[in-house]
Amino acid sequence: MGDVYIQGVDMIRFGRFPDRSLTSLGAEAALLALDDAGLNMGDMQAAWCGNLGQAGGMVGQRVLQEIGQTGIPVVNVANACATGATAFREAWMGVKAGLYDVVLAVGVEQMGRGLLGGAGGSKGISKEGLLGSGIMPCVFAEAGVEHTRSYGTTFEQFAQVSVKNHHHSTMNSKAMYQKETPLEDVMGAEMISYPNTKLMCSVNVDGAAAAVLVSEKKARELGSGRAVKVRASALTSDPYSDRDLVMPDINTCTRNAAAVAYEMAGVGPDDLDLVELHDCFATAEILHYENLGLCKDGDAGRLIDEGETALGGRIPVNVSGGLLSKGHPLGATGIANIYEVSTHLRGEAGARQVEGARLGLTHVIGLGSACAIHVLEKPA
């Protein structure tokens, strides 16, 4: 069976666009990706659209109404924070299965401001602040504290993740923020849910990203020399664990997805040149160093201390600025990660370029839970 390639991929600059429609953001990203591929809507044989906030709203079809209504199959995808990556993966499956040669995957989201999450349903009384907290900063704080419990990871080490990712984003004009945040600023920012301060929480932004995926045959025919090979695509849900009822397990599904992805790609974590992982909160990035095998269990604190995951380090992580500074428009995030890694593999990442990048990995996780991992390889 032939490989699948990313022929075109792009994202809009993440930001807050209250005066624009959701579909115009998705349409803009789709056109950027089509331009990057040197193709147009008439070439697309199917499309997948990831969006969470209007999951019932046929967003994919509405995007096509703005850029080219050709009557192709359109599938709308919702999978929490893994929504965009899931849309990409479904598009990959369509090509991999041999049904299509050229397809489009779009991820788009318009976010409100403020806290995500919350516990309990509509019946009776609110459980938030009564039976602990269901807000996302707390859920991921508790996951981080579990790492502290096992390995003594400190507030400062978690905070360093934010310092690093904000620094990276100063080199990314498509990030929401381009602003250095020294350690004392990160640790001294408003405490949201210990140990996550405000600067250790991802930014709610509007955003869109899109990719054009093609078959090996089509990639050869187009011969652009910029087609990024998809070496692996993995998707998992959370298997049963004892505390799963009250403490979403973000670790096991990531470990399971990584195992599938590394096997499919025939590579290991040591072969990677860069990683874009799901730093929805600074605490989460530390956990995923180990979940993705970037270091052995218990070594994640040392990894951040020694700068191994900073640009120029052994395995740069989130050189885009990550969700912490680039922003986290839920449905777009997964494809934006794929854009970032592809841009490095093409040698087009400018000031933040990871030199000689040959192989990269993208990772997202949606609570509830869904984990998607892709391994991408430099154009031949």
Instruction: Show which residues are catalytic.
Output: 81, 328
Burial 159-180 (b: 16+ CB within 10 A, else e): bbbbbbbbbbbbbbebbbbbee
Dist CA 232 CA 263 (whole Å):
8
Stretch that binds other proteins, among 81-89, 125-133, 176-184, 291-299 (CB under 8 A): 125-133
Dist CA 324 CA 252 (whole Å):
23
Most distant pair of Cα atoms in the chain: their distance: 61
Residue 189 near other proteins by CB under 8 A: no
245 vs 380, which CB is nearer to other proteins? 245
Residue 131 near other proteins by CB under 8 A: yes
Burial 19-45 (b: 16+ CB within 10 A, else e): eeebbbbbbbbbbbbbebbebebebbe
Report, in Å, the least distance between residue 183 CB and other proteins.
Answer: 17
Which x/- pattern, by CB under 8 A, does the window 246-265 give for other proteins? Answer: xx------------------
Which x/- pattern, by CB under 8 A, does the window 191-210 give for other proteins? Answer: xxxxxx--------------
Q: For other proteins, how many residues bind (rule: CB under 8 A)?
A: 40
Residue 190 near other proteins by CB under 8 A: yes
Burial 57-85 (b: 16+ CB within 10 A, else e): ebbbebbbeebbeeebebbbbbbbbbbbb
Element (H, E) at 164: helix 155-169
Stretch that binds other proteins, among 1-9, 141-149, 180-188, 208-216 (CB under 8 A): 141-149
Report, in Å, the least distance between residue 379 CB and other proteins.
Answer: 44
CB 103: neighbour CB atoms within 10 A? 28
Sole binder of other proteins in the list 90, 101, 142, 273 (CB under 8 A)? 142
Sole binder of other proteins in the list 65, 73, 184, 243 (CB under 8 A)? 243
In the chain, the amino acid numbered 103 is V
Dist CA 326 CA 128 (whole Å):
29
Sole binder of other proteins in the list 47, 87, 141, 345 (CB under 8 A)? 141
Stretch that binds other proteins, among 33-41, 81-89, 104-112, 114-122 (CB under 8 A): 114-122
CB 309: neighbour CB atoms within 10 A? 27
Sole binder of other proteins in the list 118, 188, 266, 298 (CB under 8 A)? 118
Stretch that binds other proteins, among 52-60, 115-123, 257-265, 369-377 (CB under 8 A): 115-123
In the chain, the amino acid numbered 44 is M
Q: What is the CA radius of gyration of the chain?
A: 19
147-166 binders of other proteins (CB under 8 A): 148-149, 155
Residue 111 near other proteins by CB under 8 A: no
Sole binder of other proteins in the list 2, 15, 53, 132 (CB under 8 A)? 132
Dist CA 10 CA 153 (whole Å):
36
Sole binder of other proteins in the list 24, 51, 79, 133 (CB under 8 A)? 133
Q: Binding residues for other proteins, per CB under 8 A?
A: 115, 118, 120, 122-133, 135, 137-138, 141-143, 145-146, 148-149, 155, 190-196, 240, 242-247
